[in-house]
Structure 1
Amino acid sequence: MFIAVVVVVLIGALVVLNNLQPSKADTPPAAGKVYDISTEGQPTIGKPDAKVEVVEFGDFKCPTCRQFETDTFPKLKEQYIDTGKVKLTFINFSFMSQTMGLKDNDSRRAAMFGEAVYKQNPEAFWTYYQELYKNQGDEREAWATEEFLSNIVKQIPGIDVEKVKKDVQDDVNKSELDKDHSIVNRLGISSTPSLFVNGQLSPGYTLDALTPLIEAELAK
């Protein structure tokens, strides 16, 4: 009887633990496969009816994401976004703090500041995006403090920095970040930046990697 009770308790505990863990895809995203990625309510730059959508899964603490922003984004914007052919959507995958073993999850804080800025002014998000990457610190250190991020937001015209701080402190946009991470888990993404072109995984984050997929979609 005692053993039976213990087994039941253990099974119940496992069920609870499984419910607390986000579900993940069995395999990582594969090249050539088209994935359904809902981008409604996500920060997007470019013509809403652009034929091609590039989706970036990024972390503001990720140094390679910074390389995408500084090296690829300007060229992508000039050649494809500003010409109305492509729109770019950003989805948070804020995991770097945990990967680096940091107690202060400033990776999440940076994402939440971005969500709060987006809530006030969707277009202003892209100023935050560029300024934050421009001033990115060492991923091994907890640099994305409230003070640091507030100073970035203060540079963005028309954004109420005190409201942004309060929204972050109150976890107002937690559901938005949870939604982002549920998309990440469903797709099985494990690294940043991960880029998709009309639902197809790009082999890299450079313009050379993205261009063949973009041009193929434009030719359809």
Structure 2
Amino acid sequence: MPKNTKPATPAKPAKAATSAKPAKAATSAKPAKAATSAKSRKPGPPPAKSRKPFLIGVAVVAAAAVLGIASYQATNPGPRPAVGDASSTDAAADTHPELTKLARRDARDPLAQGRADAPVVMIEYADFKCSYCGKFARDTEPQLVKKYVDNGTLRIEWRNFPIFGAESEAAARGAWAAGQQGRFWQFHAAAYAQGSKEKGFGAERVKELAKEAGVPDDARFAADLDSEAAKAAVKKDQDEAYGLGASSTPSFLINGRPLAGAQPMDEFAQAVEAAKAAAKK
């Protein structure tokens, strides 16, 4: 009987041969995997045909959303990317109600200007080292303030979004510290003045900006600048922007409608007017 068990051994390869048939299925499964991986690669770098820079997703809280912003090319401030066409007759299609909940509407917020109950709130995510943030601050924002903030239509809420390293962080904390003494917008103007960025935002330069902004208490400014409260406030704003998927500056939300880049006044005016009209309904 032991001898008879040896011939039984080749029978197992025969079974293995029959099990080789599923190997064909496994072989055909490989293209399926390749197809799957090919699909997963598509959302990687945004394809040229992608025309929806802001993608709204489900979040932990009902008000949260994902802001998948198409990168605004700092070297090309020309026609803005398709981030909610401000001239579109169907402005509501680019507006996301859940994003309106990000407006803080705190009357005591020193990093905001305009009435807390204004019908339109524009949230700005910006960096003091960003050239096009400076362009917006010098060329467009003053026009918006004169035309819409002063008459109670618009409220502008600033969010520190430092993305260019340590000096960006320092400038953001400096702006917050200036705000604690009611001089945020003066610091903002000094930091964005023509040629200011080229001087950098090192420790001494940030203190100089505070003096230019008329911050009254130097010692308090220095203490606030390096405080945990300043770091936490900047991180809160930064986390909000990153949580929305923002990847470029300046980025804006106008009553839940996204807009990217230092666009001309007309683009912002159209967006504000559309938001104002919608708020009346």
**Shorter-chain TM-score: which interval?**
0.7 to 0.9
Match of 2:119 among 44, 48, 51: 51
Structure with higher Rg: it is 2
**Which residue number in structure 2 is paired with residue 201 of structure 1?**
258
Match of 1:125 among 152, 164, 184: 184
Name the SS for the 2:128 alignment partner.
coil
Amino acid at match of 1:208: D
The 3 A distance-change label for structure 1 pair 94 and 85 is same
Name the SS for the 1:192 alignment partner.
coil
**Which residue number in structure 2 is paired with residue 101 of structure 1?**
none
2:224 maps to 1:184: no
Name the SS for the 1:96 alignment partner.
coil
Q: Deviations over 1:36-63 (max 9, x none)?
A: 3143546111122211111110000000
Question: By how many angstroms is 1:83 displaced?
Answer: 1.5
How does 1:54-203 map onto structure 2 within 5 Å?
A: 54-97=122-165, 105-121=166-182, 124-134=183-193, 135-138=195-198, 143-157=200-214, 159-203=216-260
Q: Which runs of 5+ in 1 are unaligned?
A: 1-24, 98-104
Name the SS for the 2:196 alignment partner.
coil
Name the SS for the 1:172 alignment partner.
helix
Quote the Cα distance in structure 1 between the aligned partners of 2:135 and 2:215: 28
Question: By how many angstroms is 1:157 displaced?
Answer: 3.4
In the alignment, is the contact (CA less than 8 A) between 1:42 and 1:91 conserved in 2?
Answer: no
Q: Higher RCO, 1 or 2 (CA under 8 Å, sep at least 6)?
A: 1
- Runs (4 or more) in structure 1 with deviation over 3 Å come to none
Identity %: 28
Name the SS for the 2:158 alignment partner.
strand
Name the SS for the 1:202 alignment partner.
strand
TM-score by length of structure 2 reads: 0.61
TM-score by length of structure 1 reads: 0.76
Q: Which runs of 5+ in 2 are unaligned?
A: 1-64, 70-82, 85-93
Question: By how many angstroms is 1:203 displaced?
Answer: 4.8
Quote the Cα distance in structure 1 between the aligned partners of 2:115 and 2:102: 18
Quote the Cα distance in structure 1 between the aligned partners of 2:174 and 2:142: 23
**Which residue number in structure 1 is paired with residue 68 of structure 2?**
28
In the alignment, is the contact (CA less than 8 A) between 1:114 and 1:129 conserved in 2?
Answer: yes
In the alignment, is the contact (CA less than 8 A) between 2:128 and 2:197 conserved in 1?
Answer: no
In the alignment, is the contact (CA less than 8 A) between 1:204 and 1:210 conserved in 2?
Answer: no
Amino acid at match of 2:275: E
Q: Deviations over 1:106-158 (max 9, x none)?
A: 1100000111111222xx211110111005223xxx81012111111113335
The count of corresponding residues between Structure 1 and Structure 2 is 186
Quote the Cα distance in structure 1 between the aligned partners of 2:258 and 2:273: 14
Quote the Cα distance in structure 2 between the aligned partners of 1:203 and 1:129: 20
Question: By how many angstroms is 1:159 displaced?
Answer: 2.6
